[in-house]
Amino acid sequence: MERRYKQEVLDQLATHGVRPTRAISPDFVRGFINDLYRFELRRLRDRLLRREIVKSDYHDHVLGVRRRYSVLELRTWQWMEP
């Protein structure tokens, strides 16, 4: 089954090095992006525990990661052209 991703979604995915073809399921891509997101959050938490980040700044760092992965705020059906 061929799928057509919206261009703005493709642009956001490309910032993470992901360039899905029309044959790749959006659920599969979302799972991969979600794994990257969780990896970055864990890495950020580890930096906090190593005291590389001040606790008062931690929230801002988490929000920055969330902004970089804003594509996860959309449902996968919203990623597709009608």
What's phi and psi for 50, nearest 5 deg?
-85, 0
Cα distances from 23 to residues 2, 4, 27, 28, 58, in angstroms, run: 5, 9, 12, 11, 39
**Neighbouring C-alpha atoms within 13 Å toward the C-beta of 18:** 23
Look at residue 39 in the predicted model and tell me its pLDDT.
98
Q: What is the mean pLDDT of residues 22-41?
A: 97
N- to C-terminal Cα separation, the chain = 14
- Proportion of the chain above pLDDT 70, given as a percent: 99
The residue among 80, 3, 63, 69 whose CA lies nearest residue 34 is 69
